[in-house]
Amino acid sequence: MSDLSNQTKAAGEDRHALVRKGLARRHRTEWLFRAAGLTAVILALGFVAILFTTIVSKGLPAFQQAYISANVQFDPELLNLDPAPERQAGQSQADFQAQSFAWQRELAMLNWNALVEASLRDLLPIGFEIDSRQLLSIVETSERHRLREMFVADPSLLGQTVPVEMLASANVDNWLKGTINRELGDAQQQLSAPARQLADEFYENGVIHMGFAWALLTNVDSRSAPASAGLAGAFMGSLYMLLIVIVLAVPIGVASAIYLEEFAPKSRLTDFIEVNINNLAAVPSIVFGLLGAAVFINYFRLPLSAPLAGGLVLTLMTLPTIIIATRAALKGVPQSLRQAALGLGASRSQMVFHHILPVTFPSILTASIIGVAQALGETAPLLLIGMNAFVAQIPTSPMDQATALPVQIFLWNGNENRNFFEARTSAAIMVLLGLMISLNAIAIFLRTYLERKK
Amino acid sequence: MNQVLTSRSALEMSATHSKDALASHQTVRTPDPDAHPSRLRADGVSVFYGDKQALFDVSIDIPEKSVSALIGPSGCGKSTFLRCINRMNDTIEGCKVTGDITLDGQNLYDGNLDVVELRARIGMVFQKPNPFPKSIFENVAYGPKIHGLARNKTDLEEIVVTSLQKAGLFEEVKDRLHSPGTGLSGGQQQRLCIARAMAVGPEVILMDEPCSALDPIATAIIEELIDELRSNYTIVIVTHSMQQAARVSQKTAFFHLGKLIEEGPTEAIFTNPREKRTQDYITGRIG
Ligand SMILES: Nc1ncnc2c1ncn2[C@@H]1O[C@H](COP(=O)(O)OP(=O)(O)OP(=O)(O)O)[C@@H](O)[C@H]1O
Ligand SMILES: [Mg+2]
């Protein structure tokens, strides 16, 4: 008896020794694994930090822009034009319209540049000689249109002198910010020597100053007046597409996932569908663009470049992501919850809507928002349905021509005025990233809020 | 192709096999002169999970207003049989049930019987307590709500309170009816599940090892509860504990390898089993 217990004791000590011997190795593996994980996290964070610092350091200057403070006189001699026609009693509508058009044409023919030039000449330092083409090159070409619009909106300006903050041209902006090499010779400079000198003198005496670049946020893209190019059109285009994706992809995706997971009997057909949905998620996005061009544009004759077509393409692209993520969330619900509901006599749809969905709602929501955010950043498929067209108006409906934020980034990145658009591109990226981050923040907020409520 | 062939031949084999088994297998039955009449009857029930047969030709009468215990070694098909009674097997992929189970003469596997109604009449308590992640009140109120059993709010409150009282839980939770049911102890959760099942007003309550996750004190409370419920409900309980079967049940059925080996009054089964396998199991020789 004591022999036996001695034996087991000895064996026990043996085993302890074995365990102890292995222990060091196990701790080492554990340590190695932790170190590898930590390194990976640090590396990833480092890359993200590099990405963000480059984008922000490049993009931030674009939020500042050179303005020229001038006093514009709406000189009656330059603006010799009858007052805007008013509708006479008994005049037919067509007649009145023709008259208005004639007046507006006349208005456009006026030499608005002369107004701009006169206001700049007033500001010239004494004795400064510069010809009118060179003088006008320091102000953005969009400003004469702005003066016209001011006048149309308020004809009583005639004869008055008002202070106007005019956008300096992109070339002046480059010159003052030093985004173009100031040492380059005349031949390589966009501005002539007197224009450059004037820009410097104006900057010194405060006629030209840096201000917040509202144009970037409130204007549409512009080719002729780069300094006035903005993101408003692309932003609205993206917003419409976002709405379409939310309205279509989220409910359809969630409903299909629920059907496949909770209702559909397991069969060859559902297996086949499942495999195909998984494959669809891996299809390159440009293929969805081709599909969209073939189906929505060629067959259904939806307007080219419209957020409607873009939104539908992005919906197709997002569906598999949402379906897969939602199914994963549903799979995570313990079977016992389903049994509890069914065992009480709940029907399948009652089980889903009363018990399964409330539990999975936060994860389904996160999945949807991530899918939608992914769609928001998509460029390639949009190029194929014409959303890279130059659009000079803010779209007012999903049927209007529009472009999208990522496409705008792509277009600006390829703009020939590299010096100016490099910063604008980064600024546009910042706006897009800001939108994405807010979407994700909403997801995180809703998730924690809903989980706390439960 | 090959695979299909083999699986088909496997099916045929198991079918012929089960016929052999049927021929050789006879349940030993000890009649009970004092037993209540039976409204729930199983007749020749076999269950298949895919190609695999889990129950072989089980026939048994369940007397009303008493407790029937199903015992037998792990994997012998007790839960499978229990799930046949409220058709929870329907929810398992690839599960097929043959034979008849009747309640008041109506076949539960009749095509036009509504499972929703059936499960309102035959409630179930699971092995692991599974309260909904909702408040205690909502847990109990859910069944009456979906079946439209309460005319108004006071009605519903009354149902909830009486169900909790019947399950012996009311005193412990009356101050926190609106806190989550998942925050209760294991034993309390199981009693909550019993209250939830009773709130629908079922005629039959099926319990699958309701005490297996509980400590002896919680077990004793639930056993006491089952004993009280017996006067109003027909109860079928699966248990691994001989003592529990002996304490709470009036009728005992012993399953082995998917077959009903012996059934009869609990007294008779435990004091004087007629089948050798029953005796072996009760005395702990197989398990
Ligand atoms: N969902 C299922 N799919 C396939 N086979 C199953 C399934 N459920 C049970 N079985 C099989 O059916 C047989 C009976 O299982 P069952 O769960 O009824 O046993 P049990 O008597 O309840 O056992 P335990 O006491 O361990 O709970 C077992 O062989 C089991 O492997
Ligand atoms: Mg079981």
Partners of residue A165 on adjacent β-strands:
A69
Looking from the CA of residue B258, the nearest atom of ligand 1 is 14
Nearest Cβ partner for B147 among A334, A342, A345:
A345
Every domain of chain A and the residues it spans = 2-60, 63-223, 232-453
Looking at A97-111, A157-171, A191-205, B257-271, which range is the least confident one? A97-111
Ligand showing the shortest atom-to-Cα distance for residue B58: 1
Distance CA A52, CA A347 (A): 51
| Residue A181 predicted with pLDDT over 80 | yes
Mean pLDDT of A179-198: 90
Q: Are B281 and B275 in contact (CB under 8 A)?
A: no
Mean pLDDT of A205-231: 92
Residue A66's H or E segment, with its range, is strand A64-73
Long-range contacts of B9-13 (CB under 8 A, 24+ apart): B10/B51, B11/B51
Q: With bands split at pLDDT 50, 70 and 90, how would you rate the model's confidence at B36? A: confident
- Distance in angstroms between the alpha carbons of the first and the last residue of chain A: 60
Selected from 1.10.3720.10, 1.10.10.10, 3.30.56.10, 3.40.250.10, the CATH number assigned to the domain covering A232-453 reads 1.10.3720.10
Q: Which of A262, A263, A331, A344 is the best substitution to test chain B (most B C-beta atoms within 10 A)?
A: A344
* Record: contact B133-A359, CB cut-off 8 A: yes
Mean pLDDT of A395-421: 90
| Residue A412 predicted with pLDDT over 70 | yes
pLDDT digits (tens, 9 = 90+) for A329-372: 999 999 999 999 999 999 999 999 999 999 998 889 888 988 99
What are the C-alpha distances in Å from A108 to residues A79, A102, A103, A145, A408?
Answer: 11, 10, 9, 9, 30
Distance B229 CA to ligand 1 centre (A): 28
* Record: contact B119-A343, CB cut-off 8 A: yes
Task: Give the dihedral sign, CA A165/A166/A172/A177.
Answer: positive
* Record: contact B133-A344, CB cut-off 8 A: no
| Residue B13 predicted with pLDDT over 60 | no
Nearest Cβ partner for B126 among A339, A345, A347:
A339
Q: With bands split at pLDDT 50, 70 and 90, how would you rate the model's confidence at B261? A: very high
Nearest Cβ partner for B88 among A266, A337, A339:
A339
Q: Ligand 1 within 6 A of B84 CB?
A: no
Domains, in order of start, for chain B: 39-282 (3.40.50.300)
Ligand showing the shortest atom-to-Cα distance for residue B88: 1
Query: Nearest to residue A234, comparing CAs of A33, A440, A431, A47?
Result: A431
* Record: contact B132-A454, CB cut-off 8 A: no
Q: HSE-up of B256 (CA within 13 Å, CB side)?
A: 19
Distance CA A411, CA A415 (A): 6
Q: Which residues contact A152 (CB under 8 A, 6 or more apart)?
A: A84, A107
Q: Which pTM does this prediction carry? A: 0.82
Nearest CA in chain A to B192: A340
Mean pLDDT of B94-102: 92
Nearest CA in chain B to A340: B130
Mean pLDDT of A438-445: 87
Q: Which residues contact A143 (CB under 8 A, 6 or more apart)?
A: A116, A164, A166, A167
Looking at A316-325, B211-220, B246-255, which range is the least confident one? B211-220
Ligand showing the shortest atom-to-Cα distance for residue B72: 1
pLDDT reported for residue B22: 45
Distance B72 CA to ligand 2 centre (A): 10
Mean pLDDT of B176-197: 92
| Residue A36 predicted with pLDDT over 60 | yes
* Record: contact A344-B117, CB cut-off 8 A: no
* A346 at B interface, C-beta within 8 A: yes
A350 interaction partners in chain B (CB closer than 8 Å):
146
Q: Ligand 1 within 6 A of B54 CB?
A: yes
pLDDT reported for residue B135: 95
Nearest Cβ partner for A346 among B94, B123, B146:
B146
* A157 at B interface, C-beta within 8 A: no
pLDDT reported for residue A3: 58
Distance B21 CA to ligand 1 centre (A): 19
* A336 at B interface, C-beta within 8 A: yes
Q: With bands split at pLDDT 50, 70 and 90, how would you rate the model's confidence at B111? A: confident
* Record: contact B142-A339, CB cut-off 8 A: no
pLDDT reported for residue B3: 41
Q: Ligand 1 within 6 A of B79 CB?
A: yes
pLDDT digits (tens, 9 = 90+) for A76-88: 888 887 777 888 8
Q: Are A70 and A123 in contact (CB under 8 A)?
A: yes
Distance B253 CA to ligand 2 centre (A): 15
Mean pLDDT of A369-379: 90
pLDDT digits (tens, 9 = 90+) for A236-245: 999 999 999 9
CB burial of B158-181 (b: ≥16 within 10 Å; e: otherwise) equals: ebbbebbebbbbbeebeeebeebb
Q: Which of B116, B138, B159, B198 is the best substitution to test chain A (most A C-beta atoms within 10 A)?
A: B116
Q: With bands split at pLDDT 50, 70 and 90, how would you rate the model's confidence at A2? A: low
| Residue B1 predicted with pLDDT over 90 | no
Nearest Cβ partner for B200 among A345, A355, A358:
A345
* A340 at B interface, C-beta within 8 A: yes
Mean pLDDT of chain B: 87
Distance CA B119, CA B96 (A): 18
ipTM higher than threshold 0.90: no
Residue A195: what are its φ and ψ, rounded to 5°? -65, -40
User: How many CB atoms sit inside 10 A of residue A384's CB?
Assistant: 20
Mean pLDDT of chain A: 90
Nearest CA in chain A to B195: A344
| Residue B27 predicted with pLDDT over 90 | no
Looking from the CA of residue B78, the nearest atom of ligand 1 is 21
pLDDT reported for residue A72: 92
Return the residue whose CA atom lies nearest to atom 14 of ligand 1: B77
Looking from the CA of residue B93, the nearest atom of ligand 1 is 1
Q: At what angle do helices B153-166 and B136-147 cross, to 10 degrees?
A: 120
Looking from the CA of residue B209, the nearest atom of ligand 1 is 27
pLDDT reported for residue A6: 63
| Residue A43 predicted with pLDDT over 90 | yes
